[in-house]
Chain A
Amino acid sequence: MTQPLVRLSGLYKIFGARDKDVLHHVQDGMGKEELLAQHGHVLGLNNINVDMQAGEITVVMGLSGSGKSTLIRHLNRLIEPTAGEIIVQGEDVMQLSEDGLRHARQEKMSMVFQKFALLPHKTVLKNAGMPLSVRGEDEVTCDREAAKWLDRVGLSGFENHYPAQLSGGMQQRVGIARALTANTPIMLMDEAFSALDPLIRTDMQDLLLELQKELHKTIIFITHDLDEALKLADHLVILKDGFVVQQGEPQHILLNPGDPYIEDFVSDINRARVLRVRSIMTPLGGDKVPADAHGEVDVNDTLESMIARSGGDTSHAYIVKDGEQTVGTLDMTELVRALVPRVASEAGARQS
Chain B
Amino acid sequence: MAFYDKLFSALGLSEWCGTSDDKAPLSLADLAAQAGGEEASGPLMPIPSFDNLHESCNRIWQSRDVTNGIEEGFLAAKPALKTVLDPITQPLSWMLDGALWLFEAMPWFIMVPLLVAISWYASRSRPVTIFVAVSIMLLALVDHYDVAMQTLSIIFVCTTISVLFGVPIGIAMSKSDRLQKSVVPLLDLLQTLPTFVYLIPLIFLFSVTESKLYGIAIILYAIVPVIRLTDLGIRLVDQDVIEAANAFGMNDRQKLVRVQLPLALPNIMAGINQTIMMSLAMVVIASLVSAPGLGVNVLRGIRNLELGVGIVAGIGIVLLAVILDRVSKAALTRVDKTQVKH
The residues of A with any CB-CB pair to B shorter than 8 Å are 76, 78, 102-106, 109-111, 113, 115, 117-121, 130-131, 134-135, 162, 164-165, 178, 182, 188
Contact = CB atoms under 8 A, between A and B. Distances in A.
A131 B258 contact: no
B247 A78 contact: yes
Contacts of B246: 78, 105
A121 B248 contact: no
B251 A102 contact: yes
7 contacts: A78-B243, A105-B249, A117-B244, A120-B241, A131-B249, A134-B254, A162-B340
A119 B248 contact: no
Contact of B241 (A102, A117, A162, A182): A117
A120 B263 contact: yes
B250 interface: yes
B55 to A, nearest CB: 55
A198 to B, nearest CB: 23
B262 interface: yes
Contacts of A182: 248
A119 B243 contact: no
B243 A130 contact: no
B249 A106 contact: yes
Contacts of A109: 247
B342 interface: yes
B259 interface: yes
Contacts of A188: 247
B195 to A, nearest CB: 37
B341 A165 contact: yes
Given A111-B244, A115-B240, A164-B341, A103 B262 contact: no
B339 interface: yes
Nearest to B335: A121
A287 B342 CA distance: 67
Contacts of A102: 249-251
B323 to A, nearest CB: 28
Given A105-B247, A111-B247, A134-B249, A119 B341 contact: no
Given A113-B243, A117-B240, A120-B263, A164 B249 contact: no
Contact of A121 (B243, B244, B263, B342): B263
Given A111-B247, A131-B248, 16 more contacts: A76-B247, A102-B251, A111-B248, A117-B244, A118-B241, A119-B241, A119-B258, A120-B339, A121-B262, A121-B338, A134-B249, A164-B340, A164-B342, A165-B341, A178-B248, A182-B248
A78 B263 CA distance: 21
B336 to A, nearest CB: 10
A152 B243 CA distance: 25
A340 B244 CA distance: 43
Contact of B248 (A110, A164, A165): A110
Nearest to B248: A131
B240 A113 contact: yes
Contact of A119 (B249, B251, B259, B340): B259
Give the top 4 A-B pairs by smallest Cβ distance, nearest first. Answer: A105-B249, A106-B249, A117-B244, A111-B247
Contact of B244 (A106, A113, A135, A164): A113
A162 B338 CA distance: 9
Contacts of B247: 76, 78, 105, 109-111, 113, 188
B249 A120 contact: no
B249 to A, nearest CB: 4
Interface string B308-342: 00000000000000000000000000000011111
Nearest to A123: B341
B335 to A, nearest CB: 9
A120 B240 CA distance: 12
Contacts of B240: 113, 115, 117
Contacts of B339: 120-121, 164
Nearest to A115: B240
Given A113-B243, A117-B243, A134-B254, A106 B342 contact: no
Nearest to B242: A117
Contacts of A120: 241, 263, 339-340
Nearest to A127: B244
A263 to B, nearest CB: 35
A165 B342 contact: yes
Contacts of A165: 341-342
A134 B250 contact: yes
Nearest to A106: B249
Contacts of A119: 241, 258-259, 262-263
A165 B341 CA distance: 7
A234 to B, nearest CB: 23
Interface in B205-259: 238, 240-241, 243-244, 246-251, 254, 258-259
B269 to A, nearest CB: 13
B265 to A, nearest CB: 8
A313 B251 CA distance: 64
A121 B341 CA distance: 9
Interface string B289-321: 000000000000000000000000000000000
